[in-house]
Amino acid sequence: MASRKEGSGSAGGGFGAAKGKGKAAAAGDSAVKQVQIDGLVVLKIIKHYQEEGQGNEVVQGVLLGLVVDDRLEITNCFPFPQHTEDDADFDEVQYQMEMMRSLRHVNIDHLHVGWYQSTYYGSFVTRALLDSQFSYQHAIEESVVLIYDPIKTAQGSLSLKAYRLTPKLMEVCKEKDFSPEALKKANIAYENMFEEVPIVIKNSYLINVMLWELEKKSAVADRHELLSLASSNHLGKSLQLLMDRVDEMSQDIVKYNTYLRNVSKQQQQKHQYQQRRQQENIQRQSRGEPPLPEEDINKLFKPPQPPPRMESLLIAGQINTYCQNIKEFNAQNLGKLFMAQALQDYNN
Amino acid sequence: MSRFFTTGSDSESESSASGDETAPKAPGGPYSKPLLLSEDEEDTKRVVRSARDKRYEELTNLIRSIRNAMKIRDVSRCLEEFELLGRAWTKAKGVVDRDGVPRFYLRILADLEDYLNELWEDKEGKKKMNKNNAKALSSLRQKLRKHNRDYEGAIAAYRQNPEQSDEDEEKSRRDSEGSASSSGAEDDAGNFLKRRDREEPRGRYKEEESESESESDEDWGDSASESDSESDEDDGKFTSLASKFLKKDEERRGAERRREEKAKKKLERKSRREEEEEEEEGGEWEKVKCGVPLVKEKPKMFAKGTEITVGLVVKKLNEILQARGKKGTDRAAQIELLQHLVAVAHEHNLGVPLELKIKFNIVASLYDYNPNLAAYMKPELWQKCLGCIEELLELLFAHPEIFVGENVLEESENLSNPEQPFRVRGCVLTLVERMDEEFTKIMQNTDPHSQEYVEHLKDEARVCAIIARLQRYLQGKGSPEELCRVYLRRVLHTYYKFDYGAARRKGQVKDGAGQVKEGAGQVKEGQGKEEEKLEDEQKVKEDAQVKENEAQVKDEEEEEEDSEALMERLCRFVYAKDRTDRIRTCAILCHIYHHALHSRWYRARDLMLMSHLQDNIQHADPPVQILYNRTMVQLGICAFRQGLIKDAHNALLDIQSSGRAKELLGQGLLLRSLQERNAEQEKVEKRRQVPFHMHVNLELLECVYLVAAMLLEIPYMAAHEFDARRRMISKQFHHQLRVGERQPLLGPPESMREHVVAASKAMKTGDWRRCHRFVVNEKMNGKVWDLFPEADQVRAMLVRKIQEESLRTYLFTYSSVYDSISMETLAAMFELDLPTVHGIISKMIINEELMASLDQPTATVMMHRTEPTATQNLALQLAEKLGNLVENNERVLDQRQGAYGGYFRDQKDGGYRKGDGYLRRGGFRQERGNY
């Protein structure tokens, strides 16, 4: 019972921390509070995915821009080439440096401020993303990762999100200690691993004007995809992915469970051993012999290796994202269905 | 020359001339040189000696080599030499009868016996001995015992008093020395004579005659000079004294014989010599035979004018056979010699049994021609072999009174005595079996796409004919075991052939006269059957089939039964009479195969099930397993032709799922496993390969399998689309589907597999017409379907199956879209008649595959919405998984508590933890409530 309380307590603490952290970030090193993206960047990312990515393959690229106060302005980007097995000697760093140098020649912002990645049904909370974002943020304080969801975008609403690792997570990653104790001490939960930074898309006035013009010209039918009632495919896929993660989570828990059992078993043995030793010593004392020397008990019982918990944290985070996605999607869909029903009633 | 002899003293020159000798260069090989070729060299060593002398020398030579062999413990050599000794001894019988058993002979017998006993007792040593030696030891021991029985008394005497006999020897030697010195004066004369003899060997006989008076003296001189030089050698000396006194008698006899011979025959010297050699022991013949000179001499195997008797020929035959299997024997020459011998025997009318015997040996030597088991016969030899066996059978049929058996002992053979039944050693069955194996080997080693193969295949008819004849022969006189063996051979040559004759007859009966032509055309079209793969192979096969048909027609003429009845009869006999499991197993498998080939599915299946072969076939040897695999495959194809898709799939599953069908059917080696096996294994595997004309077409096999899998798998997939736990029916089919999906660009299908994959995709959407177009079209007809004998029937079956399964798939896939559907519409869509549609749907409803009910008056299917939709399904699965997750999570929680609560509680919990998560959860809630 106690532990249960503890768990919920920690969750509550997490929430608290999340709120607190927001303040801390604002008060602290400022970092980034808002991301301002040029329309150009958005279009380039979309174009990149459309040309190179397919299915659950992921495209990545580098964001360029500059920091203004606590606002990160992303003014340009360039893609990474797709990796193939056969050109393993491709030097990414070299490629980046050269790209940036070349862009500087044409007078484009060449400050490296992060990277972008496409995602497949919102499955982006992975170890790879964590590692690379950590190295980015470690090197360039302000860097963000832009997650672009092409599937949602195809349904009519642009889905582009900017994420940063929370300072807490940065600490943990720096320590590279993912044992349960360390994570507990760091007070990290899945909710406060990433922070989402609000995004503003900014275009030049001329472009805005043109967009207005275009909107007037475009027929109503062009925007009907927003109203599409077909939902099962998307929902099904999401559920499928969610299920896979749940499975993984289960396995992880089983692993952790075994570890706990081993620990407790060992504790038991240790205890027994100590008792036996004590009794023996008492007997010896009564016989007037010197007590047995104290041995290092930890040498006798090597504690089992605790399983790293970062994976399960990530999985929990991923599950969270999926749930959010599904919730959002279903809310919209329900709305649409109610609308459709009302329309039908009205027509009848 | 006679360095080991102090004798040669007495005995006159006449008799020595009769045994005229070349000098032994090495013991055991005194006659190795062809006599006419290098006379000069040999003549220097020629000497005139008496018959007695000669015999004794022979004996002593042999004894020496036996002693040598004893020293080096080479028992097999001992045995060889002993056999020679025995023969030499019988030859020397005449001399011995006069002289009494010589001491040296007794001594070697006694020594040998001791030696053998010693070896025999020495268990350790015997173990170490190699197999040959051990074998030789026991046989030598037996032989010696048998031999010694005759001389028991003498040996016992010798054993009692070896010393004394030695003394005797001493004495005799001294005597002979004395006499030698006395005759020393005549030395010159003797030498002179010797020289002259050397110079004029041809004229020797005359001289010998004229000088017969003085010869005794010369010989004395001879012996003197030699005994002086070599007196340390004691073997053979002992005889000198005794023989000395017998001289006169011997002389007279020898002279008489000499004259008699001369007067009567006036033989050429050369032929005389050959005859003499004839009389020499056979062991020395092996050397004569090898080498070129032999071939020159061969035509004159027997002296001109010699009276050729059965005994003589048999002796000759044995001599030739002695060389068999020895190193350096010219096998081709040996075969020719034997053939010549047959001719001679035939010429002189020596009787059928003898000819039979020689022919047996010819065939055996033909088989021996290749020392290597893997090598195959040359075509000429093969033809010769076939011819020979045919002649043999001819003879056997012509003379049924002759008893032939492998159990007839050499001694009990009767080749010439007409009063008693003829008995000949030999086994036709073994020869024919061997021939059959050779035939298989030839076929294995011929390129199946060459004209050569066709040529060889033409011999198949002859092979079959021979086996059939042998069978008829053995039916008269063979034992059940032999009959089983020959029946199996017959069965093995029959089971894989499609009986077109019977099919045609059946067709006639069924369809009446009008359709006979068409039936025949169909037969011709399907003639290829599954055995061939390519166009040109079709030719090969057709040729073969024609041949086979001819053979079969012949058979039918003979036996008046088609292959079905034949198989039935033969196999039944084997089932009843066979005692070795293997023959029965093979017969059963062949029988099943034959049934399957002729579309008698139920009989084939029942036989397979009754035999219980599926349970224990893994214990059989590889060739039988290959046969089993072939049978299973044929069974599967048969089931497919009958429209029993499920059975077909099950039968083929094992072979096809491994992906090694080629190897399992013995139709080729896989390259993949090439590294895993060494050369030796590869040879063994190569020997197991089935000859090409018996192959099962692998593409047909795969196509049948894939189509069967498609017909089963597609509806199943449609029915279980959302089932998380669905199993694949056929992994291989899924693999093909995946391969098809991976293709970035889908063109029109080319290969058989692509056709099946395309058909599967069409079927998935219930489009039976497209599916049908993909499965049955020009290309597929050419590749697969036309290979069936009843191709049209199979195609009709396929169409129907495709329609039915497409209907099922359609209902599975789209039932959720319909509220109700008219059966008439369905019938029209799938071009099935209403009752069939009704039947299929009813079946689906009964099996709870389709949630629907039938509305009789309107003939419609009313769908019930009980199946959850895809999303609902997913949600259910997710709920289940989450339940799991929660349970696991709570376990972690329990652990925490356990750590505080103590070890034992944890243990107790462990007992009922499994499977009652819900209960515990309830408990947990209570706890919380309490909290």
Between residues A254 and B69, which one has the greater pLDDT? A254
* Chain segment B250-292, per-residue pLDDT in tens: 555 555 555 555 545 444 444 444 444 444 444 344 444 333 3
Let me know the angle formed at the C-alpha of B8 by B7 and B13, rounded to the nearest 5 degrees: 165
How far apart CA A36 and CA B841 sit, in angstroms, is 62
Nearest to B892 among A1, A243, A257 (CB): A257
CB neighbours of residue B881 within 10 Å? 19
The DSSP bridge pattern shows strands B860-863 and B820-822 to be antiparallel
Is the Cβ of A30 closer than 8 Å to some Cβ of chain B?
no
Confidence (pLDDT) at B547: 53
Query: Does this model's pTM top 0.95?
Result: no
Average pLDDT over residues B76-92: 78
Residue A8 has pLDDT above 50, yes or no: no
Between residues B234 and B340, which one has the greater pLDDT? B340
Average pLDDT over residues A134-154: 86
Residue ranges per structural domain of chain A: 34-82+91-228, 246-289+299-347
CB contact under 8 A, B870 and A236: yes
pLDDT-based confidence at residue B162 (cuts at 50, 70, 90): low
Which residues in chain B touch residue A260, judged by CB atoms under 8 angstroms apart? 892, 895-896, 899
Which residues in chain A touch residue B897, judged by CB atoms under 8 angstroms apart? 1, 3
Residue A124 has pLDDT above 80, yes or no: yes
Is the Cβ of A285 closer than 8 Å to some Cβ of chain B?
no
Beta-ladder partners of A84: none
**Stretch among A269-283, B233-247, B841-855 having the lowest mean pLDDT:** B233-247
Beta-ladder partners of A62: A78, A115
CB contact under 8 A, B895 and A243: no
The DSSP bridge pattern shows strands A60-68 and A71-79 to be antiparallel
Confidence (pLDDT) at A32: 79
Nearest to A246 among B875, B881, B892 (CB): B881
pLDDT-based confidence at residue B517 (cuts at 50, 70, 90): very low
Which residues in chain B touch residue A254, judged by CB atoms under 8 angstroms apart? 888
Residues on chain B bordering chain A, Cβ-to-Cβ distance under 8 angstroms: 869-871, 874-875, 877-878, 881-882, 884-885, 888-889, 891-893, 895-900, 903, 906, 927-928, 931
Residue B420 has pLDDT above 50, yes or no: yes
Which residues in chain B touch residue A257, judged by CB atoms under 8 angstroms apart? 888, 891-892, 895
Confidence (pLDDT) at B924: 39
Is the Cβ of A240 closer than 8 Å to some Cβ of chain B?
yes
Confidence (pLDDT) at B401: 73
The segment with the largest mean pLDDT, out of A10-24, A139-153, B150-164, B899-913, is A139-153
Give the C-alpha distances (Å, rounded to integers) separating B734 from A10, B655, B710, B780. Answer: 49, 16, 9, 21
How far apart CA B455 and CA B448 sit, in angstroms, is 11
CB contact under 8 A, B881 and A3: no
Give the C-alpha distances (Å, rounded to integers) separating B679 from A162, B446, B623. Answer: 65, 20, 19
Nearest C-alpha in A relative to B901: A264
Residue A12 has pLDDT above 50, yes or no: no
The segment with the largest mean pLDDT, out of A123-132, B35-44, B141-150, B196-205, is A123-132
Average pLDDT over residues B458-475: 84
pLDDT-based confidence at residue A172 (cuts at 50, 70, 90): confident
Average pLDDT over residues B750-770: 88
Confidence (pLDDT) at B550: 52
**Stretch among A316-325, A333-342, B686-695 having the lowest mean pLDDT:** B686-695
Is the Cβ of A230 closer than 8 Å to some Cβ of chain B?
no
How far apart CA B14 and CA A75 sit, in angstroms, is 132
* Chain segment B128-156, per-residue pLDDT in tens: 667 777 777 778 778 777 777 777 777 77
- Shortest alpha-carbon distance between residue B917 and chain A (Å): 15
pLDDT-based confidence at residue B299 (cuts at 50, 70, 90): very low
pLDDT-based confidence at residue B301 (cuts at 50, 70, 90): low
Amino acid at B108: I
Which residues in chain B touch residue A242, judged by CB atoms under 8 angstroms apart? 878
Options 3.40.140.10, 1.10.10.10, 3.10.20.30, 3.50.50.60; CATH of A34-82+91-228: 3.40.140.10
Average pLDDT over residues B811-836: 87
DSSP SS3 for A160? strand
pLDDT-based confidence at residue B406 (cuts at 50, 70, 90): low
Confidence (pLDDT) at B73: 74
Residue B191 has pLDDT above 60, yes or no: no
Nearest to B882 among A1, A3, A246 (CB): A246
Confidence (pLDDT) at B842: 92
Average pLDDT over residues B388-397: 82
Average pLDDT over residues A138-161: 84
**Stretch among A44-53, A326-335, B139-148 having the lowest mean pLDDT:** B139-148
Confidence (pLDDT) at B271: 46
Who's near B928: CB < 8 A, 6+ residues apart?
A1, A4
Is the Cβ of A253 closer than 8 Å to some Cβ of chain B?
yes
Which residues in chain A touch residue B899, judged by CB atoms under 8 angstroms apart? 260, 263-264, 267
- Shortest alpha-carbon distance between residue A10 and chain B (Å): 15
Nearest to B896 among A3, A236, A240 (CB): A3
Question: Is residue B718 within 8 Å of residue B712, measured between CB atoms?
Answer: no
pLDDT-based confidence at residue B509 (cuts at 50, 70, 90): low
Average pLDDT over residues B28-56: 51
How far apart CA B81 and CA B894 sit, in angstroms, is 92
Average pLDDT over residues B650-679: 75
pLDDT-based confidence at residue B806 (cuts at 50, 70, 90): very high
Residue B298 has pLDDT above 80, yes or no: no
Which residues in chain A touch residue B882, judged by CB atoms under 8 angstroms apart? 246
pLDDT-based confidence at residue B410 (cuts at 50, 70, 90): low
CB contact under 8 A, B874 and A261: no
Residue B29 has pLDDT above 50, yes or no: no
Residue A171 has pLDDT above 80, yes or no: yes
Question: Is residue B324 within 8 Å of residue B334, measured between CB atoms?
Answer: yes
Interface A–B counts its CB contacts (< 8 A) at 68
* Chain segment A71-84, per-residue pLDDT in tens: 888 888 888 887 66
Nearest C-alpha in A relative to B879: A243
CB contact under 8 A, A250 and B881: yes
Confidence (pLDDT) at A121: 82
Who's near A276: CB < 8 A, 6+ residues apart?
none
- What b-and-e string marks burial along B821-846, b requiring 16 or more CB atoms within 10 Å of the CB? bebeebbebbebeeebbbebbeebbe
**Stretch among A102-106, B153-157, B468-472, B594-598 having the lowest mean pLDDT:** B153-157
* Chain segment B880-894, per-residue pLDDT in tens: 888 888 888 888 887
Question: Is residue B322 within 8 Å of residue B286, measured between CB atoms?
Answer: yes
Average pLDDT over residues A34-40: 90
Torsion (CA) A256, A257, A258, A260 in degrees, nearest 10:
90
- Shortest alpha-carbon distance between residue B491 and chain A (Å): 58
The tokens describing A20, both together, are 């607190």
Average pLDDT over residues B434-463: 83
* Chain segment B348-367, per-residue pLDDT in tens: 766 777 777 777 777 777 77
The rounded percent of chain A whose pLDDT value lies above 90 is 4
The rounded percent of chain B whose pLDDT value lies above 90 is 3
Let me know the angle formed at the C-alpha of B812 by B808 and B814, rounded to the nearest 5 degrees: 115
Is the Cβ of A239 closer than 8 Å to some Cβ of chain B?
yes
Nearest to A253 among B871, B878, B888 (CB): B888
pLDDT-based confidence at residue A209 (cuts at 50, 70, 90): very high
CB contact under 8 A, A243 and B906: no
Question: Is residue A95 within 8 Å of residue A62, measured between CB atoms?
Answer: no
Q: What is the mean pLDDT of chain B?
A: 70
* Chain segment B868-920, per-residue pLDDT in tens: 677 787 888 888 888 888 888 888 887 766 544 444 444 444 444 444 434 33
The rounded percent of chain B whose pLDDT value lies above 70 is 61
Nearest C-alpha in B relative to A4: B893
Confidence (pLDDT) at B222: 44
